[in-house]
Amino acid sequence: MEYTVKKLALISGVSGRTLRYYDQIGLLKPARINSSGYRIYGQKEVDLLQQILFYRELEVNLEDIKKIISDPTFDQTEALKSHYQLLAQKRARLDKLMATVKGTIASIEGGIPMQDKEKFAAFKDKLIEENEKKYGEEIRSKYGDETVDASNAKLRGISEGDFKAMNDLGEEIMVLLKKAYEKGDPASVSAQEIAAKHKQWLMYSWGSYSKEAHAGLAEMYVADERFTAFYDKVADGATEFLRDAILIYLGMEK
């Protein structure tokens, strides 16, 4: 059986445009072109298309599908496994999104307008959740459960005004850090101001404060690439600069 574009489209369920596109990008070439320039597909192409659609269903992008079906030495298992990981991540993310949406709906239906308490609470939950997700495990193992739980508990109990103030302070620190970093001296007045503000900022979420803990956190900032990535958004090396400023501020320079 031979198929023109329309016929193949009919039995496969994809559009004619899709078939021409797949031809164009070299994903599925017709068996031959007839004298009038028509694309003619054979049984082999029908089978190939089925394979392609199988992977497409799995949300593999066309470029990868091309590799998978064209290169038989390509490690399909590995590709599928990493693809599975991707799907799992997507699902985990969806789960969280759904929870947040549900919470938001509930808060609205509770008669409390977005803007206010519940939205704020949703944000807090999200914040805690993200903190927990990003840093929880490692911090727990390195610094003990109490620290983390205490931080979360404090965060949960925080007032809306404080929350906003804390956020603003966090923003301010980022901006100031940029300016101070450009001067290059962690002992400078501006850098020491940042360290002070950073302590203030920490106080919002920390149950108890100690110089040692502050210094330890500063060291962790540098050691943990996720913190580094965050503060280095300001500039490369800003994380180390912040650590140095804090250590000097605490009188704990090495």
104 binds its own copies (CB under 8 A): yes
For residue 24, give the nearest of 10, 11, 36, 39 by alpha carbon: 39
15 binds DNA (CB under 7 A): yes
For residue 235, give the nearest of 167, 179, 157 by alpha carbon: 179
DSSP notation for 22-42: HHHTTSS--SEE-TTS-EEB-
| Residue type at 159 in one-letter notation | S
57 touches, from its own copies, DNA, none (C-beta below 5 to 8 Å by class): its own copies
Q: How many CA atoms lie within 13 A of 149 on its CB side?
A: 4
Residues 165-184 that bind DNA (CB under 7 A): 178, 183
- Token readout for 144 is 């003990």
Nearer to DNA, 164 or 178 (CB): 178
Contact yes or no for 22/8 (Cβ under 8 A) = no
63 binds DNA (CB under 7 A): yes
Smallest separation, CB 112 to its own copies (Å): 12
User: Mask: binding to its own copies, 214-233, rule CB under 8 A, as x and -?
Assistant: -------------------x
Rounded distance, CA 207 to CA 154, Å?
Answer: 6
Nearer to DNA, 155 or 245 (CB): 245
Q: Which stretch binds DNA (CB under 7 A): 15-23, 42-50, 188-196, 213-221?
A: 15-23
Rounded distance, CA 203 to CA 29, Å?
Answer: 64
Q: What are phi and psi of 39, to 5 degrees?
A: -80, 130
**What is the SS3 assignment for 125?**
helix
- Binder among 63, 71, 95, 145 for its own copies (CB under 8 A): 95
- Binder among 33, 34, 38, 114 for its own copies (CB under 8 A): 114
Q: Which stretch binds DNA (CB under 7 A): 5-13, 140-148, 161-169, 190-198?
A: 5-13
100 touches, from DNA, its own copies, none (C-beta below 5 to 8 Å by class): its own copies
Neighbours of 229 (CB within 10 A): 10
- Binder among 17, 32, 102, 226 for its own copies (CB under 8 A): 102
Size, binding site for DNA by CB under 7 A? 23
| Residue type at 192 in one-letter notation | Q
Contact yes or no for 19/28 (Cβ under 8 A) = yes
38 binds DNA (CB under 7 A): yes
- Binder among 56, 134, 154, 197 for DNA (CB under 7 A): 56
For DNA, the binding residues (CB under 7 A) are 4-7, 14-18, 20-21, 34-39, 56, 61-63, 178, 183
